[in-house]
Amino acid sequence: MSTAVKTDFRVVGSRPIRPDGLDKVTGRAKYGADLNLPGQIFGHVVRSPHAAAVIKSIDFSDALAMPGVMAVMSADDLPEPGDRLLPGAEVEMKLKDISPVIMARGRVLYHSQAVAAVAATTPALAAEAAGRVRIEYEVLPHVVDMHEALAEGAPLVQDDIFTQGVEPPPTVPSNLSLQMELAKGDLEAGFAEADVVVERTYSVPMCHQAYIEPHACVARVDEGGRVDIWCCTQGPFMVRNMTAELIGVELGKIKVTASEIGGGFGGKTTVYLEPLAAVLARKSGRPVKMAMSRDEVFRASGPVSPAETRVKLGVTRDGRITALETDILMDSGAFTGSPLMPSVLFGNAQYRCDNVRSRGREVLTNKAKMWAYRAPGAPQSTVAVECAVNEAAELLGMDPIELRLKNAVEEGDVPLYGVPFQAVGLKECLEAARAHPNYSAPLGPNQGRGVACAFWINAGMQSSATLHVASDGSVNVMTGNPDIGGSRASMALCAAEVLGIPVEQVRPAVVDTDSVGFCDSTGGSRTTLATGGAVIKAAEMLVEELCERAAAVWGLEPEEVEWREGRALSRVGFGLDEVTEGRAAADSEQKVLTLAEMAASAGMTGGPLTASASLHAHNAAPGFAVNVCDAEVDPDTGKVTILRYTCAQDAGKAVHPAYVEGQMQGGAVQGIGWALNEEYLYDEQGVLQNAGFLDYRIPVASDLPMIDTVIVEVPNAMHPFGVRGVGEVPICPPMPAVVSAVNAAAGTRVCTLPLSPPRLLAAIQSGEAD
Amino acid sequence: MGANAVKKIHVSTTINGEPREFLCEPGQVLSEVLRLTLDLTGTKEGCTTGDCGACSVTLDGALVCSCLVLAAETEGREIGTVEGVARGGELHPVQQKILEHAALQCGICTPGIVVSAKALLEQNPDPSEEEVRYWLAGNLCRCTGYDKIIRAVLDAAATMREEAP
């Protein structure tokens, strides 16, 4: 078993072609909407045309009269959620905050909320039948803006929300669902000590994860009530848990197979269609396929909490941060459960500061329930803190990286969330960014540079892995974590490293919920760390067994055998640790059995070679990233061009560096989109106005330069290979890096994102700060 | 009148060089027929409004979004999908370079990128980075930030120029 962090690697750190690559470049890979079952019919969701209303009645008779309509459903077909908690959820979730998102019960709280569903023999017929479901509504007043939702006399999104986190608890319901505060030190004293104080309020828009693959699934229910679900999800076990509760079926009767997944970024860590497809399949006796349109994806899945963060930062003349205060107002949509806490805790964890206070308030509005997006909550507060640090650097006439280096956390520092840091690579990332040629590239007129650094905590959680050795010595590695960005390659590398075999000899697979132990979802930057950890553990168990079997064959003690380069070797002169190839050949006492030889004869040494391991990973270590953005602003149009972009990130150990770079580049570009263009726009009726890729504009290839990357490796001391999660922190620094670069280029101080051309142009022309 | 009451249209086309016939409803778009009727699910639907490029195919050699083409319009025409890009068990250089450059993460946009990039290189064997970026501006990718995709296409172009007779 591993006791120390490994530093000499055979295959970890190399860049093999991903094992699922051929299927993906040829179109063979099967995604959520790619499975067609014999006899399948098609489900279609009926959605609310109102932002707030009472559902008076639902009449299916016209729809049911259409030939080819096979089943209909409403919330009456689902169990009452009551006050139960969702068992096995990663964070505490009440069913009553999830069930109405699947299907409204009695009342709709946002436009496009699911109200009913139909299933028919073709997609077109199902859509037509959905249009014939007669629903009578009593329209209620609604509120979509979070400030208006907090105003006196605002319509209540729900009737029974009493602000949590307030003592004594309020007796009157409101839209303020949660309030929290964390603090240490003496804020007043900290500001008194400061020579420069910056205070600003930054506003981050509501956006969407905007994965390219819409939610899709196929469900089948057999005559014995067993439910078989195929879907694109970040967590097949999560789908099984949630579906069991939401439709009232025993968990053990549900099998979920994750398809290939076309992006998720947190947005596929819940269910929308799967429970509905299962109910429609049960009622019709036919396999039911459901897929959202892009319009439905934008209106009724995701989206991402907008937030407003007031920041106040105190710094001494010599660049020491003496006080840091943040106050976050976050929109949760129609149900509680926004990422307020990580926003409160993690936007400031990159700096050592004795006097910190962070407060947060969560507000309900008549909008879709917000869901996770890559480092949930952190970008919304990080943007304020990092822009304030840049402003302080300007006021002090200090290089922004120099100012950060003076305050960056290192081993032993204790962030507001209370867990002391072990070795972390923030300073190394800052140094790497400063040393990159992009940082000294000359800037022309209307050009500016922005720097930001950021923290994300990373998750561990539960994972399982099973290894099977085939009789030729090749190895199957099975886990339950959908591969969203190359994780099968990481699993194969981890197994090959421990087993001492070529990575091509390993076949990694993502298998269904019946075929491997429980795995928490692919999310929280946890898959390579935790599921990879389970693979490492299983491979180590296999090596131990291989050594025992070889020892038994040779009549030696297991300690007299070691595993090296994919072979069992008897230790000649046990106690001397010098076994070499040359000596093996020369010394007839040296015995050797390769994995292939042992696999071929496994039947004579104890049966097939397999190993399974599971773990609850408590060894996640934080990730830090630094971005540098160079931008040019056209003063006549307000259009921003990103000239250069540099990302440095501490990966701990990059198992497959190309896919680590991919996370860094992808996260940076998502952040660039959020900073410059992406924004939900609602009309007076609470209806989203830009529910499509034409009007909700994510970055396209021609918007961008190459995204330069520097991987820093400060090993995670708690992981056998030193791995840190890498997937989420990349989206934390881009917004402040871009905003700072753009404001520097334009000579503005716009604090309301996105910095779209009209907003920027107005600021340039008015010559005023935000 | 119910959608199912409309008589289907018989269409004869060529798909990836093979003659294919299918029945479709008058309003059905090509992407749906490829995926549901012909089981050619390599063509993806990310938006069905022509904005994401995941459904890119060629129609008589021209790059189109198959979600914006009525299936009935393809009578007598030649359709090229991602399934036809690799030939005789050999990857097209664009596919090979996408693999080598790790130019995909989730892979949902990859078939559209492959079809689109191949179409680019057939008419411009030596594109600049900017030309590749503008050509692929209609193929959305949310995972990669495009960096590795652009490098892969430029590398594929260089390889094809070297291999050209």
Inter-chain CB proximity A125 and B2 less than 8 Å: yes
Name the DSSP class of A584: H
The pTM for the full model equals: 0.97
């196929």: which residue's tokens? A218
Hey, which residues does A617 pair with through a beta bridge? A461
Cα–Cα dist B97/A25, whole Å = 10
Residue of B nearest to A672 (CA): B145
Q: Which among A416, A446, A430, A519 has a CA at the least distance from the CA of A477? A: A519
Cα–Cα dist B54/A216, whole Å = 16
| A738 contact partners, CB below 8 Å, separation of at least 6 | A450, A629, A631, A640, A642, A671, A672, A675, A676, A755
Cβ(A158)–Cβ(A372) below 8 Å: no
Inter-chain CB proximity A31 and B108 less than 8 Å: yes
Q: Which among A283, A276, A279, A218 has a CA at the least distance from the CA of A47? A: A276
**Amino acid of residue B158:** A
Q: What is the pLDDT of residues A224-280, one digit of tens each?
A: 999 999 999 999 999 999 999 999 999 999 999 999 999 999 999 999 999 999 999
Inter-chain CB proximity B49 and A21 less than 8 Å: no
Intra-chain end-to-end CA distance of chain A, in Å: 57
Q: Which among B23, B61, B22, B29 has a CA at the least distance from the CA of B43? A: B29
Inter-chain CB proximity B52 and A294 less than 8 Å: yes
The burial class, CB within 10 Å (0-12 / 13-18 / 19+), for B90 is exposed
Q: Which two tokens stand for residue A77?
A: 């077909």
Give the strand order in the sheet containing A216-221.
Answer: A69-74, A114-120, A41-47, A288-291, A216-221, A227-231, A254-258
Name the DSSP class of A722: -
Q: Which among A63, A75, A107 has a CA at the least distance from the CA of A275? A: A75
Inter-chain CB proximity A698 and B102 less than 8 Å: no
Q: Among B3, B106, B151, whose Cβ lies nearest the Cβ of A263?
A: B106
Cα–Cα dist B120/B127, whole Å = 8
Q: What is the pLDDT of residues B61-75, one digit of tens each?
A: 999 999 999 999 999
Q: Which two tokens stand for residue B97?
A: 């370079």
CA distances from A113 to A125, A184, A185, A521 (A): 21, 42, 45, 25
CA A728 from chain centre, in angstroms, equals: 6
CA distances from A78 to A75, A131, A246, A255, B15 (A): 5, 22, 7, 19, 45
Q: Among A67, A210, A668, whose Cβ lies nearest the Cβ of B4?
A: A67
Cα–Cα dist A423/A654, whole Å = 16
Tell me the torsion sign for CA atoms A126, A129, A134, A138: positive
Annotate chain B with DSSP letters as a single string: --GGGSPPEEEEEEETTEEEEEEE-TT-BHHHIIIIIS--TTS--S-SSSSS-TTEEEETTEEEEGGGSBGGGGTT-EEE-GGGTSBTTB--HHHHHHHHTT--SS-SSHHHHHHHHHHHHHH-SS--HHHHHHHGGGS--SSS-SHHHHHHHHHHHHHHHHH--
Instruction: Suggest the residue from B142, B151, B154, B155 to mutate for an interface test with chain A (most A CBs closer than 10 A).
Output: B142
**Containing H/E element for A22?**
helix A21-26
Cα–Cα dist A527/A381, whole Å = 26
The burial class, CB within 10 Å (0-12 / 13-18 / 19+), for A405 is middle
Q: Among A20, A31, A125, whose Cβ lies nearest the Cβ of B4?
A: A125
**Amino acid of residue A445:** P
Cα–Cα dist A413/A431, whole Å = 19
SS3 state at A616: strand
CA-based nearest distance A25→chain B, Å: 6
**Containing H/E element for A623?**
strand A623-633
Instruction: Suggest the residue from B99, B105, B109, B149 to mutate for an interface test with chain A (most A CBs closer than 10 A).
Output: B105
pLDDT band at B1 (very low <50, low <70, confident <90, very high): very low
**Containing H/E element for A662?**
helix A657-676
Q: Among A24, A213, A667, whose Cβ lies nearest the Cβ of B46?
A: A213
Q: Which residues in chain A show pLDDT less than 70?
A: 1-3, 88-90, 573-588, 768-770
Three-state secondary structure of A498-529? HHCCCHHHEEEEECCCCCCCCCCCCCCCCHHH
Q: Which among A296, A429, A330, A373 has a CA at the least distance from the CA of A711? A: A429
Cα–Cα dist A328/A181, whole Å = 10
| B67 contact partners, CB below 8 Å, separation of at least 6 | B29, B30, B31, B32, B45, B47, B48, B49, B50, B55
CA-based nearest distance A432→chain B, Å: 20
Measured between beta carbons, the chain B residues lying within 8 angstroms of A128 are 2-3
Name the DSSP class of A421: P
**β-strand A640-650 against A708-712: which pairing, if any?**
parallel
Strand extents, DSSP E, A300-380: 307-315, 321-331, 356-363
- Quickly list H helices, A259-334: 274-284, 294-300
Q: Among B25, B43, B51, whose Cβ lies nearest the Cβ of A124?
A: B25
Q: Which among A707, A656, A701, A666 has a CA at the least distance from the CA of B143? A: A666
Q: Which two tokens stand for residue A252?
A: 């053990």
Measured between beta carbons, the chain A residues lying within 8 angstroms of B31 are none
